[in-house]
Amino acid sequence: MSNDARTEHDPFVALQDSPEFADLRSRFRRFVFPMTGLFLAWYFLYVLLSVYASDFMSTKVFGNINVGLLLGLGQFVSTFVITILYVRWADREFDPRAAALATTIGDDHR
Protein backbone atom coordinates (compact mmCIF):
# COMPACT_ATOMS: atom_id res chain seq x y z
CA MET A 1 0.00 0.00 0.00
CA SER A 2 1.43 3.31 -0.99
CA ASN A 3 0.26 6.73 0.12
CA ASP A 4 1.85 8.44 -2.85
CA ALA A 5 0.56 8.02 -6.38
CA ARG A 6 3.73 8.68 -8.34
CA THR A 7 4.43 6.69 -11.48
CA GLU A 8 7.42 4.57 -12.23
CA HIS A 9 8.85 7.41 -14.30
CA ASP A 10 9.88 9.13 -11.11
CA PRO A 11 13.51 10.26 -11.59
CA PHE A 12 14.33 9.48 -7.95
CA VAL A 13 13.07 5.91 -8.23
CA ALA A 14 15.01 5.49 -11.47
CA LEU A 15 18.22 6.75 -9.92
CA GLN A 16 17.71 4.73 -6.75
CA ASP A 17 17.41 1.58 -8.91
CA SER A 18 20.57 2.33 -10.89
CA PRO A 19 23.79 0.37 -10.27
CA GLU A 20 25.71 3.65 -9.82
CA PHE A 21 23.52 4.63 -6.88
CA ALA A 22 23.73 1.14 -5.40
CA ASP A 23 27.50 1.52 -5.59
CA LEU A 24 27.42 4.89 -3.82
CA ARG A 25 25.15 3.56 -1.09
CA SER A 26 27.24 0.48 -0.48
CA ARG A 27 30.48 2.49 -0.39
CA PHE A 28 28.95 4.77 2.20
CA ARG A 29 27.59 1.95 4.32
CA ARG A 30 30.78 -0.10 4.02
CA PHE A 31 32.64 2.79 5.61
CA VAL A 32 30.28 4.13 8.26
CA PHE A 33 28.71 0.90 9.57
CA PRO A 34 31.93 -0.94 10.50
CA MET A 35 33.38 2.29 11.88
CA THR A 36 30.28 2.80 14.06
CA GLY A 37 30.48 -0.80 15.27
CA LEU A 38 34.14 -0.35 16.06
CA PHE A 39 33.88 2.80 18.15
CA LEU A 40 30.76 1.62 19.98
CA ALA A 41 32.44 -1.69 20.85
CA TRP A 42 35.57 0.11 22.07
CA TYR A 43 33.50 2.59 24.09
CA PHE A 44 31.43 -0.11 25.79
CA LEU A 45 34.51 -2.23 26.44
CA TYR A 46 35.95 0.79 28.22
CA VAL A 47 32.71 1.40 30.16
CA LEU A 48 32.45 -2.24 31.22
CA LEU A 49 36.10 -2.34 32.28
CA SER A 50 35.57 0.80 34.37
CA VAL A 51 32.55 -0.71 36.05
CA TYR A 52 33.46 -4.37 36.48
CA ALA A 53 37.27 -4.40 36.36
CA SER A 54 38.10 -1.45 38.54
CA ASP A 55 41.10 -3.25 40.04
CA PHE A 56 42.63 -3.62 36.59
CA MET A 57 41.78 0.00 35.73
CA SER A 58 43.39 1.14 38.99
CA THR A 59 46.73 -0.50 38.14
CA LYS A 60 49.43 2.17 38.22
CA VAL A 61 51.45 2.44 35.04
CA PHE A 62 53.81 5.27 35.97
CA GLY A 63 53.60 7.81 38.78
CA ASN A 64 49.94 8.32 39.59
CA ILE A 65 48.85 7.58 36.03
CA ASN A 66 46.79 4.38 35.95
CA VAL A 67 45.39 2.13 33.22
CA GLY A 68 41.94 3.70 33.53
CA LEU A 69 43.23 7.18 32.81
CA LEU A 70 45.27 5.98 29.84
CA LEU A 71 42.33 4.07 28.36
CA GLY A 72 40.11 7.11 28.96
CA LEU A 73 42.56 9.31 27.09
CA GLY A 74 42.63 6.55 24.47
CA GLN A 75 38.92 7.23 23.88
CA PHE A 76 39.78 10.83 23.05
CA VAL A 77 42.55 9.72 20.68
CA SER A 78 40.34 7.17 18.89
CA THR A 79 37.56 9.75 18.50
CA PHE A 80 39.97 12.24 16.93
CA VAL A 81 41.48 9.58 14.65
CA ILE A 82 38.10 8.32 13.40
CA THR A 83 37.06 11.93 12.72
CA ILE A 84 40.19 12.56 10.65
CA LEU A 85 39.81 9.29 8.74
CA TYR A 86 36.14 9.85 7.96
CA VAL A 87 36.53 13.46 6.83
CA ARG A 88 39.43 12.52 4.56
CA TRP A 89 37.50 9.57 3.11
CA ALA A 90 34.33 11.61 2.60
CA ASP A 91 36.14 14.52 0.94
CA ARG A 92 38.16 12.31 -1.41
CA GLU A 93 36.06 9.24 -2.08
CA PHE A 94 32.44 10.09 -1.41
CA ASP A 95 31.81 13.72 -2.40
CA PRO A 96 32.93 13.51 -6.07
CA ARG A 97 30.77 10.42 -6.68
CA ALA A 98 27.74 11.90 -4.88
CA ALA A 99 28.04 15.18 -6.78
CA ALA A 100 28.30 13.36 -10.11
CA LEU A 101 25.12 11.40 -9.39
CA ALA A 102 23.27 14.50 -8.18
CA THR A 103 23.79 16.20 -11.53
CA THR A 104 22.31 13.24 -13.44
CA ILE A 105 18.84 14.11 -12.12
CA GLY A 106 19.13 17.55 -13.61
CA ASP A 107 16.67 20.20 -12.46
CA ASP A 108 15.39 20.39 -8.98
CA HIS A 109 12.38 18.10 -8.75
CA ARG A 110 10.35 19.30 -5.84
Partner 1 sequence: MSAPTIAALVPAATNVGSPALNITIFGVFVLITLGIVIRASKNNRSAADFYAGGRAFTGRQNGIAIAGDYLSAASFLGIAGAIALNGYDGFLYSIGFLVAWLVALLLVAELLRNAGKYTMADVLSFRLRQRPVRMAAAISTLAVCFFYLLAQMAGAGGLVALLLGIDKKSGQSLVIAVVGVIMIAYVLIGGMKGTTWVQIIKAVLLIIGAAVMFVWVLSKFGLNLSHLLGEAVTESGGKKVLDPGLQYGKSGLTKLDFISLSLALVLGTAGLPHVLMRFYTVPSSKEARKSVEWAIWLIGIFYLFTLVLGYGAAALVGPKAIAAAPGKANSAAPLLAYELGGELLLGLISAVAFATILAVVAGLTITASASLAHDIYNSVIKEGTASAEEEVKVARITAVVIGILAIFGGILANGQNIAFLVALAFAIAASANLPTILYSLFWKRFNTRGALWSIYGGLITALTLIVFSPVVSGKAPVAPLKTSASMITDPTVDFHWFPLDNPGIVSIPLAFILGWLGTVTSKEYNAAKYAEMEVRSLTGHGAEKATSH
The site for partner 1 (CB under 8 A) is made up of: 1-4, 6, 10, 12-13, 15-16, 21, 24-25, 28-29, 32, 35-36, 39-40, 43-44, 46-48, 50-52, 54, 57-58, 62-66, 68-69, 72-73, 75-76, 79-80, 82-83, 86-87, 90-91, 95, 98-99, 101-102, 105, 108-110
Kindly report the number of other CB atoms within 10 A of residue 39's CB atom.
Answer: 15
Q: How far is the CB of 30 from partner 1 (least distance, A)?
A: 12
Q: How far apart are CA 85 and CA 62, in angstroms?
A: 31
Q: How far is the CB of 19 from partner 1 (least distance, A)?
A: 14
Q: How far apart are CA 31 and CA 86, in angstroms?
A: 8
Helix (H) or strand (E) holding 27: helix 19-52
Q: How far is the CB of 81 from partner 1 (least distance, A)?
A: 11
Q: Which is nearer to partner 1, 19 or 76 (CB)?
A: 76
CA-based nearest residue to 39, from 68, 88, 92, 76: 76
